[in-house]
Chain A
Amino acid sequence: MQNLAVPAVALERDNAPDAHAIELRDLTVRFGTGTGSVLAVDRVSFSLAPGEFVSLVGPSGCGKTTILNLLTGLLTDRPEGDVRVLGKSPSAGNPDIAYMLARDSLLPWRTALGNAVYGMEIRGVPRSKCEEQAMMLLQRVGLGDFADKYPKALSHGMRQRCALARTFALQSPVFLMDEPFGALDAQTKLQLEDVLMDLWSANKRTVVFVTHDLAEAVALSDRVIVMSARPGRIVADVRIELPRPRNVRALQKDTTFHKLYARLWSLLEQGMSSHDH
């Protein structure tokens, strides 16, 4: 796993032990201008330590994806407040960031291997190194025998495994994931959550994980941030004190897991109802 090491995170840790990997201060996002504008995100502040796995949960339209797009640099509206990713303002194509969506977005004309190298290829990693790295990751996610298959021949779960390989093949210290398992059935989802935990524990990146599946958020995260319905505000920021490494499937029977889940669920309900608009 030596070649998966992420120098940027290490540097950050060495030079400034207290530095945040991601920091949002009083973030306010408005769509449109003037009287017709909609307040999407209202004074949201939180930060992530390097290597921390944090989930954002909340009802749809609470601004989770907006925050993620903002971090990616894909949002064109200028927000109020301050946003920093590894100390820098977000910009599209920032090599510090890897991005994963609910839809696998695999390129249908590329094989699984071709898709796994895609991110590295865009970032100019030499071809031979790309393939070696991608092949290793395909094996890790259980697609070693499917490297030369086109996406049409892969199942939903396999396609998302391939997308995981593509994401982890990038050396980026920050991962932004927008409901990456949202389109999968419950069984496949648990399997892939374990694959994600396996990859992540081998090489801890800072992860912002957007989901509306509370169980998933609890099982995977160090912290879960609960947001309210639009305009998105932070209702709670809960530390998940479950030991690591975690096995997501085993957690399904764990009592602490269920207590945390229940607590977060009531917080989420508050966020949906105690809404003064």
Chain B
Amino acid sequence: MTTRSRLTIAAHVVFIVAFIGLWELASSHDLLDRTFFGRPSGIALFLWKGFVTDGKLWLELGYTLFGAAVSFLAGSIAAVSVGLLFMVVPRFHRAAEPYLTLLNAMPRIALAPLFLLWFGLGVGSKIAVGCSLTFFIVLSATVAGIRGANSDHTILSRALGASQRQVFFKVTLPSAVPVIFSGLRLGLIFALLGVVGAELIAAEHGLGQTLAYLQSTFSMDGVMGLLFLLALLGLGVTALMNRLERSLLAWQ
């Protein structure tokens, strides 16, 4: 590690410690209202209790992660398949485009009450919301990726005698992968967002449901703790996708 990066890390640590210290100090001296802002020691206690002493948060985390994972997988598999179908049958793409644009323009979270009615309070409705968000993001990335294939590559391949099928599998698809991948990265974040959002509205389990409950009972330490947890989750998901991208797309 270089001196420079060590210094940077030290600066971050100092900042975070100072920030938390000030917060703790301010709330313990009633400069900051604990009912509205919580306090760091309370937040830490909440997380400790939730994950270590009674371990109840694990179950909620599990529900949310399961919902997000299923939403992501189902939404992106459907999106990539439809995107590829569009490429093979351009007429279908032209016909479907206005409807997709209309659906995509709809605020998906507003559909959550409808999904709750259709799929119930359980994880089904959460997956429906997550899926509907992931699907459109990954679909537009797939279409953009396929359209972005370098014409030099296709011309050369055709001149060499490549069939339509060979051009598709050897040129169009691999060149679309990086764009599809950035769509997938966004899609995963949005799957998580959709699931937590739907849980906030109504659910039996999940981090969103817990958050709504804690908020309605004015347990700000809990709310802050969960927000922190959700931020970490988002960070973890992005880091995971970056890592996957680096190993899969070493040529970039």
Contact = CB atoms under 8 A, between A and B. Distances in A.
Interface of A: 72-74, 92-95, 97-99, 101, 103, 105, 107-110, 118-119, 121-123, 150-152, 170
The 10 A-B residue pairs with the shortest CB-CB distance, nearest first, are A93-B161, A99-B159, A150-B251, A105-B152, A105-B156, A109-B251, A122-B160, A122-B162, A109-B174, A119-B160
B7 interface: no
27 contacts: A72-B159, A74-B158, A92-B161, A93-B158, A93-B161, A97-B159, A99-B156, A99-B160, A101-B155, A103-B152, A105-B150, A105-B152, A105-B156, A107-B170, A107-B174, A108-B251, A108-B252, A109-B177, A109-B251, A110-B251, A118-B160, A121-B170, A122-B157, A123-B160, A151-B251, A152-B251, A152-B252
Contacts of B158: 74, 92-93
Interface string B30-59: 000000000000000000000000000000
B149 to A, nearest CB: 11
Nearest to A73: B159
Provide the main secondary structure of the chain B interface.
helix
A151 B150 CA distance: 15
Given A107-B175, A109-B177, 15 more contacts: A74-B155, A93-B161, A95-B161, A98-B160, A99-B156, A103-B152, A105-B152, A107-B174, A109-B174, A109-B249, A110-B251, A118-B170, A119-B160, A150-B250, A151-B251
Given A101-B152, A103-B152, A109-B175, A92 B251 contact: no
A100 to B, nearest CB: 9
Interface in B237-252: 249-252
Interface of B: 150, 152-153, 155-162, 166, 170-171, 174-175, 177, 249-252
Contacts of A98: 160
A94 B252 contact: no
A109 B166 CA distance: 16
A122 B170 contact: yes
A207 to B, nearest CB: 15
Contacts of B153: 105, 107
Contacts of B252: 108, 152
Contacts of A107: 153, 170-171, 174-175
Contact of B161 (A94, A105, A151): A94
Most buried by B among A74, A93, A110, A150: A93
Contacts of B162: 93, 122
B173 to A, nearest CB: 10
Nearest to A97: B159
B248 to A, nearest CB: 10
Contacts of A72: 159
Most buried by A among B152, B153, B161: B161
Given A74-B158, A93-B158, A107-B174, A122 B166 contact: yes
A57 B128 CA distance: 63
Nearest to A120: B160
A42 B150 CA distance: 32
Nearest to A119: B160
Contacts of B156: 99, 101, 105
Contacts of A99: 156, 159-160
A207 B218 CA distance: 82
Given A107-B153, A107-B174, A93 B251 contact: no
